[in-house]
Amino acid sequence: MNKKRLLILGGGTAGWMTALLMAKRLGENIDIILVESPDIPVIGVGEGTTPYIKQFFKQLDIREQDWMRECQATYKCGIRFPDWSTKIGYQSYFHPFFSPLDKQVGEAFFHNVNCRRAGIDVNANPSHYFVTSYLGERGLSPHCYQALPFELDYAYHFDAALLGNYLRKIAVEIGIIHRQANIISVGHQVNGNIEALITDSGDKLTADLFIDCSGFRALLLAEELNVPLHSYADSLLNNAAVAIQVDHQQSSCLDTLLPTETRSSALSNGWMWNIPLNQRWGNGYVYSRDYISANSAEQELRVALAIDDSVDARHLSMQVGRRTRHWQNNVIAVGLSQGFVEPLEATALMLVQYTIEHACAVIEKSDSQNLQDIADGEKRTFNDIINAMFDGVRDYILVHYLTNSRDDTKYWRDNRHGLMIPDTVRHLLEVWQSDADIEQELGGYFKTSMYSKASWYCLLAGMGVFPELVDDNKRSSHSIAPLEPVIAYNQNCMQHFRPQREIIG
């Protein structure tokens, strides 16, 4: 049988994840070549993930201790959101990753949230209810001193550039061909398929299937095949970011404890991320240029970090949205070339991984023996699924902005009142505020969302999205779950977890 040829255009984390997963899934009957320009820097700012990435390393038999050491990685138990809400008791909340340890206290959380939705005065901030909230701010890892019969769900922080280099090394070792070249032209077949990429040295690189990992430019999918962008700009206002890396000793405002959580703090016209790595902090300010200048955003970030102008800053533009199709002809877009949703919930690599895995599943199940001849119906289904995933992430992030209660700038007021709200999101919020059966509503919404019931509860409760309190007569008819045993349970649990520094050094 003749081997099929797959060409990946672009490196970085997305390109090398694609190369390794496709090599693993599609087996020995495919040759993979990855071509990247030596002159185009990798964006490499994203330094957080969701727990989904653990499946990636598991599929490839990459040991956690090996890659973490090489990539300055740390553990991530969830995300903390300070200053998005001004409501008393909800000025900060924690979005955890869930585990069997949370089953009992989780039920108390859901019960009390629904009591608060009914107007009953009870503390429903998720920060109090989940053990990972206690681990995260204290710098405790998700690993116990003694083995548990189950594993806590967790994710990672890492240096994105180092991870890309690490994956490239593994890919080359298993036989994936790595070429450095600039593409100067693209050849097409009569049917519109891509035939070959022409390099600046005159080489003609042919393939059966092309994977576009060329970043926001989307050289193959957008420039060559004219697949348009479906913009999210009417729902998500942010369009720029400034990033600053800080050594552990450079800022008096950053913990030396090395917390096992990402912090996403609201600022005047956007939000700031703080991501702890083994030897430094990754920080940045995601904002809208329509409300604040790049220079003012940089200075606000420096003030928040308590650092002066001697530390370099990097400015980035963001193209927020998704392509209307991710698989067109014999091109599949992966990563920034297929779309981008701001990194508030660290979903970028999750969407990369999901796209690759689903593309592999389509290829594996296809009746076609030719990668160029995958049926149009299979591509349409694939595109619908990936679009729904992107839109679901967009919706979840949008709700952070819709439910903010800040009134200090026009930016935050416009985020409450000036956005395009999808009907599904509008209806979800109406049901939440009405004391109706939110679980039934979320059950239907799960079909197009990557977020669970618990995540939606944490977001809406964490932001303090509740009606006014009712009178004492109605309050007496509800039995609330006491908070004190929940706190005691979590404080006892956290005694059994190892400090992160003991594990990563």
Question: How far apart (Å, rounded) are the C-alpha atoms in residues 45 and 275?
Answer: 11
Give binding residues for L-tryptophan as ranges: 345
CA dist 23 and 6 (Å) reads 10
Residues of the chain with pLDDT under 70: 1, 43-46, 251-253, 255-256, 445-448, 472-477
Binding residues: 11-14, 76, 336, 345
DSSP 49-96: --TTHHHHHHHTT--HHHHHHHTT-EEE-EEEEETS--STT-SEEEEE
Using alpha carbons only, what angle is made at residue 90 by residues 87 and 93, rounded to the nearest 5 degrees?
150
Per DSSP, the three-state class of 382 is: helix
Task: Specify the pTM.
Answer: 0.95
pLDDT of residue 255: 65
Query: Using an 8 Å Cβ cutoff, are 275 and 262 in contact?
Result: yes
pLDDT score for 242: 98
The secondary structure of residue 466, as a DSSP letter, is -
What pLDDT was estimated at residue 368? Answer: 76
pLDDT on residue 440: 83
Determine whether 365 is an active site residue. no
User: What DSSP string describes 324-372?
Assistant: S-SEETTEEE-GGGTEE--GGG--HHHHHHHHHHHHHHHHHH-S-SSGG
Q: How far is CA 322 from CA 334, 388, 394, in A?
A: 11, 10, 10
- Tokens linked to 120: 């009953």
Residues 6+ apart with CB under 8 A from 465: 403, 429, 432, 433
Rounded CA gap, 479 and 311, in Å?
A: 54
**Which residue out of 76, 103, 447, 453 is catalytically annotated?**
76
Task: Look at residue 99 in the predicted model and tell me its pLDDT.
Answer: 87
SS (H, E, C) 42-54: CCCCCCECCCCHH
Please give the sequence-ordered ranges of beta strands (E in DSSP) within 86-176, or none if there are none.
92-96, 140-144, 155-157
CB within 8 Å of 169: residues ≥ 6 apart = none
* Residue ranges of the binding site for 7-chloro-L-tryptophan: 76
